[in-house]
Structures are given as C-alpha cells and as structure tokens.
Structure 1
Amino acid sequence: MFAIMLALASMTVHAADRECGLRPADGERLRNLVQNLVERGHAPGVVIDVRCDGRPWLQAAVGLSDVARSRPMQLDSLFRIYSMTKPLTSLLVMMLAEEGRLSIDDPVARYLPEFSMATVHNGSAMFPPETVPPQRPVTVRDLLRHTAGLTYISAQPDPVSRMYVQRGIDHGGGNQIVPADGGPAIESLADLSQRIAAIPMLAQPGSRYSYGSATDVLGRMVEVVMGRRLRDAMAEKLLKPLAMQDTSFQPAPEQLNRLTASYLAPALAPRGTGLFFRVDMKTVAPSSFSLADDPAHSVFAARRVADFGGAGLVSTAADYQRFLWMMLRRGEVDGVRLVRRDTVAAMTHNQIDAPALRDTILEQSGMGFGLGFATFESPEGAPAALPLDGYFWGGAASTYFWVDPGRGITGVLMTQVFGGDVGPYFAELLDTLYRPPPKFKTQPLPTSY
C-alpha cells in the first residue's frame, strides 16, 4: 500500500452549473476517487485532468511515479500512452486525405503493394491457416475502423493468432518480440507491414471489427505518402501545431527524469464483458506490482527500430488535453484549423454496421467505432454512464481519455499498470459525471466521408 501524495494538486471548479454542468461536489468525488485508487493499492500513482471548454477544472497528481525511487507523481509526469497513440495517427491519415494525398476508400495496396497479395482465413482449425481470396481489397477506411481483419499477437489458439506469434508481429509495446519461427525480430515499419500482409486476415474486409495492428500499418502508409519517418511527419503536422512539447516516440534526455515507471499486476476484480465495468472496489484486495519498465533503463529511451503508430507515443495528461481540445473544437485550436469540422464528425461517429459489431467487445459495451475512436451508442448496454455523442479510448497501461461534445468536457486519467484493476475506477469516474445518463441529441453523420 502506498502513501498518498497529492503532488501539485489543484482543483478549480466553475461556480455556475451552466458551465459544462460540472459541480463542486463532482470534483470532490473525483478527487476522492483517485485518492482511493492509490490508497487501496490498485495503482502506485495517478494523474487526473478534467477540463471545461479547455479550461482546467480538476487537476491532481496522487501517489508515486516511481516506487523504487520514491518519486512523487507530478502533473507533468510522462506516461507511455500505448493505444492512445492511435487517434493521433488516425487524425494524421485524415489530414492527408483532406490534402488529396490519399483517399480513405483507396485500396491499401495502392500505397503498400504487399497487401495486393492478401488472403482471408477460411475459418478452419488447420495450421498453417487455410485461405480464400478476399471479396474486395482492404481499404484505408478498413484500417481506420479496425475492419481489415488484422489482430494483435496473442496466445489465442486460432490459426491466424498462431501465425502472428510465428512471425513475431510486434505490437509496439517496447519489448522486442522474438518470432517463434526462429527468424529475426521486426526491423522497421516496412518489415512489420510486409509480415502482416503475408498472414491471412481474420475475416473478409469490412465484415468484422477486430482490434489489432491496423494503426501500425497506417503509420507505415504515412511514411510512404510523406516520404519521412512517422515521428517527423507527426511532429510537423500535429505535435508542433498543437504545442504538444511533451509528446514523442522517444523522450529527449532532459525529459527522462519525468518518465514514470510501469508495472504489471494481476487482475483481481470480477471481470465484466465490456471494455470496462462496474465493481465495488472496496471489496477488491490490493494489487501486487512487479516492474515492467524502469524509467532509468526504459525501452522508450533507447533507439527503437520503428515508430509504432498504434502504441508508440509518450505524453503527459496536459499535452494530451491539447489534442482533445482541438477535437472538441472540431478541428480548430488557437485560431488555426488543422482539419475540417466534417472530418472530426466522421472520425467520432460510428462507422461500423451492426453485423460487423455483433458479439464483439464493443457491442457488449454499448459502443461503436469511428475512424480512430470508440463511440458511445447505447446507454442501456454501456458499462458506465456515458455522454451521448461522446467518444473515448485508452492505453494498455491503464490510461484513458474521453470527450463530451455536448457539455464541452474533456478528461484524461493516467497511470502505468498493465492488467490490474484500474478499469472500474474509470467506470466510476464516468458514473460520477454522467449518472443519470444525459440526454443530448445525436448529430447527423456527415455524408462527405
């Protein structure tokens, strides 16, 4: 159990309910929530940052960023945000589409020729996987909404997952994955894309939501279209215009003293079926943590062979809020428009039809998926009270964000725990702000995309 340190904590609450509908009592409950998260031993430390129309409303840093060195968590602590990288890479692709440098309905093979030979698993249990031809080419849109039939390396027994293990398909987490077939590890994003393209897709393009390496392939496509490394392309078009000075694929030496430690923990809370779920966390035993990545010797500080567009960024809560503020402003920030309003609308509305969502974790969570973001669709099936028209995503080490366009709220919750029991606290956070569920009229989806 870790001592509480409310490091650089501040709380500013707007006096008028009309300002985002946030109340002082909500702020007290959220501050207690993050304190409980640390006091009960379910995370060594955490940062929460909630804003109303871009203005800080609640900012708090609690606990430790590095247990071994007794470093207090700070508001500017650096976190490995893993899959919270995906929305930025997706937006970068949409910016290129606006510029006419690609179309999201183009075949992926137009930019990555290796996908011209793609095949589809026929559903049998045979290994190597038996295949059939694709009914249509995989498109950029399929990659953006995870309907390209790609997956992540895992211990699943199906033949396609076994092929990912055989070929050592790196998921961008930082630790080098050794292929089970004895071949070399991934050497570049080009190598990653070629290996993925040579493995059968899980399903026919567009027919099934399957979460995986699609955004890493998008990152490679950006490199091809722009003729430079993904880190340089993202810095030029997104990070610098948004003044996201603490967000990168590799922290600068002077930033490393702010990099948190990351930890592994077993999941002890009863598991729900959705992306996150409600649990009375007072009844759940403290987590036992083991070190996953020491900031003094972090894989994120070393030279990496590839910039993984699906999982490679390091950021701070405040930096990520710059991105969310631009999204809330529907593509404009500080008087500069980065993308069109209809582009943001298309990205943040569900783009997957019901058959492709059936029996997926998204459907079980009352959600859909846009072009880089999970969308809130069905309050009745949701694991927590959610804002209609809202969208969110998270990262593998228990980082989360959400955007509520109806009330002008953006929020970030950051810690660094793989596995463990942080998810129910995020559900409680949303319940605190949105119970009973708000009633906002859903905006129509633009037709331009």
Structure 2
Amino acid sequence: MTTHNSGSPEASGMSSVALARIDDHLKRRYIDAGRFPGTQLMVYRRGSLVHHSVQGFADLERKVRLKGDAIFRIYSMTKPITSVAFMMLVEQGLVALDDPVHRYIPEWKNLGVFQAGAAPAFMTRPPSRPMQIVDLLRHTSGLTYGFQQRTNVDAAYRDKRIGTLDPEGTLASMIADLAGIPLEFSPGEAWNYSVSTDVIGYLIGRISGIPFDRYLKERIFDPLEMADTGFFVPAGKAHRLAACYSADAGGMVPARSPGATSGLTLQDDPATSPFLSPPGFVSGGGGLCSTATDYLTFCRALLNGGELGGVRLIGPKTLALMTSNHLPGNRDLPEMSRSMFAEATYSGIGFGLGFAVTINPAKTLIAGSPGEYAWGGVATTSFWIDPAEELIAIFMTQVIPSTAYPVRRELRTMVYAAITDSNP
C-alpha cells in the first residue's frame, strides 16, 4: 500500500528543471541560512511520485542527516485524519452533522457565550442556537485555543492547559474542563481555530465504543499500511524521530555554514521527547507523528475519492461534502475569522469539514485551483491536494511556529510553476 509509483516529471506534465529549482530554493534560503534543519518534499501527480527530495539534517546537535524515512511531529495535520475518521461514523448512520453536540456530551447542554468577567466568575448569555457536530468539524463551535491570547476565555484555556503542545489530563478531563468555560461566540457566528477537532476525537471514542487511538489504527492506519503513523514513536523507531526546533526571535538570520544552529533553538530533543511514550491525552487535533510516505498514502486515498488499493475509507460523495466550503453564505475566512493564528492564509480560502478549501484562487494571489484542499502543522509541515490537477504536495520540516517564514506560499507558487500541461 505504501508503494508509490515513481515516474519522470515530464511524463506527468511537470518540469524536472522547475522542480529542482524548489530544492535549490529550500537549501539556499532555508537550510544553508539556518532557518530550517532539513526538508523533505514530495510531489505526486497523475498517479506518479514525480519528485522526492530530502535535504539537510534531522538532528543538528548530533549531526544526523535527514533520511527519507524520518518521523515527524505532524501536529495539526492530525486534524484531517481525525475528521475523515469521524465521517466514517457519519456514513454508518451513527451520528449526523446537524446533531446537537450535547446529545453526546450532556454536560455541555447549558454552555453559555462569554459576555464579561474572568474565570471562575464569567458572565454569559445563552447561545442563539445549540452547538452542532458540523460546528466542530468546521471550527465554528465557539471553542478556542489558549494560544490565541485574545480574550479571558483564551486565558481560562491556558489556566487549564487545554490545547497546548504538551496537554495534560485526558480527553475526558478536557471535556469536563470545557463544561466550565463559556464559548467565545454563539455557534455558527464566526470561525475560530480551536480544540474542536480534539472534541471530535473524543466523540469518535464515545460513539464507536472503541478508544480513539485504536479506532484510527484499526480503521485507517493498518488497512492503508501506514505503519509509521501513531500517537507515539515506539522504541524500535526512536532513532528515526527528527529533532524539533523553534525559530529564533527576529525571524530571518544571517547565512551560516551547514550544520550550525544559529537561528534555531532546540524545542524537542528526539532522545527525550514526550512523543517516545504513549500520551495520556490522545489529541485528534495535533497528536500524531508520521512520515512523508505515510501521509502521502493517506492523501492518495483522498485524491482517489476515498479509496486506495482496495481499501475504502469514505465514499466519494462524502469526501466531496468534506471538501466543500461550509462557512455560512460561502464566505471566506477573512469574513468570518476571529483567530489570531491558523494554519492557513485567508483571502479566497473557505473551510470544509477538516480542511481549508480554496474557493477563489485570484483572491489568494497564489496559483492554484478552486476546490483544492489543504492544512498544515505548527512545526511547518504542510500538504495540499488539488483534484483538478491530480496533484498532491507534502512538505516536512520541524520548526515552530509555522508562521515564521512564508515557505508554504513559496512552495505553492513553485510547484504550480512546474506544471507544464495544466488540466482545463
């Protein structure tokens, strides 16, 4: 299942010269300049892996070169997998998108909307309507992330360590804590990047009767032979876990010799990483580790209408629903977003059920196609799928935050520039 046919770029309507230019760009602008330790890029088009490059280091301190089987913390690239897993339950008739969330989480039935005050003495008003399942999948639930740092509600999340990179407690304790914190806004009235997908992970376990992590393994990872994807890295694979770094304050740094660490601060040492042991909090919003190869397998199943190698995750009509813009009135993110941070640029971008969706390429000011869908992780990993061009791109590195550099915009521009015979 993880075997990807390789072919020449030209045979799939792409330019090998233009693709090589991307590698040169990544090496010169990011690796040699001390901004990224190393990079891995996969470009897949029309049934073939037409480009695969691995450059730089997995671990700068130990001078370990990056290899093609490196394991990365994919953080919020967990969200599309969790969302697909949930839609498998929808297809089975076990839950509906317009179901009220309190049907499955009764303690949330009387959640109010923030008016004033601070924890524990919040003043609230009733929401204009109950939170629905669809609100969780499209981030219109009224939930938030503490790192948004906009409101007293965000502060309450930080106090409870809800939605951090290293969360405490369990999914059940998160649900209990959220029952005591008001919503940022009435469900459906705005878009706010949030712990909503962690709640989806909790609901998968609650509705299926199978622990969330086991559900993903049995229903997605094992059938697709995604053997290197999971919520922790087992001992026998620990040597493949890349180090994770923080971009130093000030952003751009002077050029340096390869291997030096100026511009980067070690954030998670692979020798002592919490990802080496099973987590107490199984995060459907950001807990997975994976490889570029495994994630390409997942993306290939989506590009193929929800099926790969005889293994069907979801039906093509369900996938079409997931990759439609679900923001009310077909609005884009700038019209609805209250987020200080998200793994997407905004103009011309809507949001589906687990993915950002391009609705107007001209407004994005980046080459692309209507209906292309994507997401990324806080350590600067990213992917996108373009059904019109039969294209997938997977990018891996390990630098927090993903907003430090405009690499995603550059990659989209350069990958699309490599297409020589675009589909109409």
TM-score (norm 2): 0.89
Deviation at 1:368, TM superposition (A): 0.5
Q: How does 1:108-187 map to 2 (within 5 A)?
A: 108-122=101-115, 124=116, 128-154=121-147, 156-171=149-164, 173=165, 175-176=166-167, 186-187=168-169
* Aligned equivalents of 1:436, 1:48: Cα separation in 2: 14
Structure 1 residues 165-219: Cα deviation after superposition (integer angstroms, max 9, x where no partner)? 2222133x2x35xxxxxxxxx4210111121232111111111100010000010
Query: C-alpha deviations, 1:224-267, integer Å up to 9, x for none?
Result: 11223211010111111111110000111111110000011135
Gap change, CA 1:359 and 1:141, over 3 Å in 2? closer
Q: Give, in whole Å, the separation in 2 of the partners of 1:222 and 1:396.
A: 24
Distance, in Å, in 2 between the alignment partners of 1:319 and 1:406 is 23
Paired amino acid for 2:205: E
Aligned partner of 1:306 among 281, 299, 305: 281
CA distance in 2, matches of 1:157, 1:259: 34
1:15 pairs with 2:10: yes
Deviations 1:129-163 (A, max 9, x none): 32101121111100000000111112624121121
**Partner amino acid for 1:387?**
S
1:377 matched to 2:370? The reply is: no
Residue 45 of structure 1 deviates from its aligned partner by 0.8
Structure 1, 284-293 or 300-309: larger mean CA deviation: 284-293
SS at match of 1:296: coil
- The whole-number CA distance in structure 2 between the counterparts of 1:356 and 1:57 is 32
Residue pairs, 1:263-302, within 5 angstroms: 263-266=245-248, 268=250, 288-302=263-277
Deviation per CA, 1:265-298: give whole Å up to 9, x if none.
13545xxxxxxxxxxx8x9767621111111111
The answer on whether the counterparts of 1:385 and 1:436 sit within 8 Å (CA) in structure 2 is no
Give the whole-Å Cα distance in 2 for the aligned partners of 1:35 and 1:428. Answer: 13
Q: Which amino acid aligns with 2:289?
A: V
1:191–1:383 distance in 2 versus 1, CA, 3 Å? farther
Q: Which residue is 2:17 aligned to?
A: 25
Equivalent residue for 1:367, pick from 337, 349, 358? 349
Match of 1:103 in 2: 96
Contact 1:266 1:419 in 2 (8 A): no
Choose which of 22, 27, 31 in structure 2 pairs with 1:38.
31
Distance in structure 1 (CA, Å) of the matches to 2:239 and 2:370:
39
Q: Are the counterparts in 2 of residues 148 and 214 from structure 1 also a CA contact under 8 Å?
A: yes
* Alpha-carbon distance, 1:326 to partner: 0.5
For 1:35 and 1:12, how far apart are their aligned partners in 2? Answer: 24
The equivalent of 1:217 in structure 2 is 199
By how many angstroms is 1:109 displaced? 1.2
199 and 126 in structure 1: CA distance in 2 versus 1, 3 angstrom threshold:
closer
Aligned to 2:295: 320
Match of 2:76 among 83, 94, 99: 83
Distance 1:54 1:267 in 2: 41
Letter in 2 for 1:76: D
Secondary structure of 2:275's partner? coil
Contact map agreement 1:248 1:314 (CA 8 A) in 2: yes
- How far has the Cα of 1:383 moved from its partner? 5.1
**What do the CA deviations read for 1:399-423 (whole angstroms, capped 9, x no partner)?**
0101011111111110000027664
Q: What amino acid is the match of 2:352?
A: G
Q: CA deviation at 1:427?
A: 1.2
**Partners in 1 of 2:54 and 2:332 — Cα distance?**
40
- How far apart, in 1, do the equivalents of 2:304 and 2:366 lie? 25
Q: Is the 8 A contact 2:14 2:418 kept in 1?
A: no
Q: More displaced, 420-429 or 289-298?
A: 420-429
Q: Counterpart of 1:278?
A: none
How far did residue 35 of structure 1 move? 1.7
Relative distance call for 1:295 and 1:379 in structure 2 (3 A) is: same
Once residues 171 and 191 of structure 2 are traced to their aligned partners in structure 1, the CA distance between those partners, rounded to angstroms, is: 23
Match of residue 62, structure 1, among 48, 55, 58: 55
> Is the CA contact 2:389–2:423 (under 8 Å) kept in the aligned structure 1?
no
Alignment partner of 2:412 out of 430, 438, 443: 430
Q: Distance in 1 between matches of 2:417 and 2:393?
A: 16
Given that 1:34 and 1:48 are in contact with CA atoms closer than 8 Å, whether structure 2 keeps it comes out as no
Structure 1 residues 197 and 126, CA gap change in structure 2 (3 angstroms): closer
Q: Distance in 2 between matches of 1:148 and 1:331?
A: 26
Segment of structure 1 superposing worse, 399-408 or 31-40: 31-40
Give the secondary-structure state (helix, strand or coil) at the position aligned to 1:154: helix
Give distance in 1, aligned partners of 2:367 and 2:180: 42
Letter aligned with residue 291 of structure 1: L
**CA displacement at 1:339 relative to structure 2:** 0.8
1:120 and 1:54 map into 2 onto residues whose CA distance is 48
Q: Which has the higher contact order (CA 8 A, sep 6+)?
A: 2
Q: Structure 1: where are the runs of 5+ without partners?
A: 1-10, 177-185, 270-280, 442-449
Aligned AA for 2:281?
Answer: A
Residue-pair matches, total: 405
Farther off after superposition, 365-374 or 148-157 = 148-157
Scaled by the length of structure 1, what TM-score is found? Answer: 0.84
Query: What is the CA RMSD across the aligned residues, in angstroms?
Result: 2.5
Q: Distance in 2 between matches of 1:55 and 1:313?
A: 26
After superposition, the Cα gap between the structure-2 partners of 1:421 and 1:188, relative to the gap in structure 1 and judged at 3 Å, is closer
Determine the C-alpha separation between the residues in 2 that align with 1:268 and 1:59. 31
SS at match of 2:44: strand
Shift of 1:440: 6.9
Aligned residue number for residue 253 of structure 1: 235
1:243 partner letter? E
Superposed displacement of residue 95, structure 1: 0.3
Alpha carbons of 1:359 and 1:201: their partners in 2 closer, same or farther (altered >3 Å)? same
- Is the contact between residue 15 and residue 418 of structure 2 (CA under 8 Å) also seen in structure 1? no
Structure-2 residue corresponding to 1:412: 394
**What is the deviation of 1:365?**
3.0
Percent identity between the two aligned chains: 36
CA contact (8 A) 1:389 1:440 kept: no
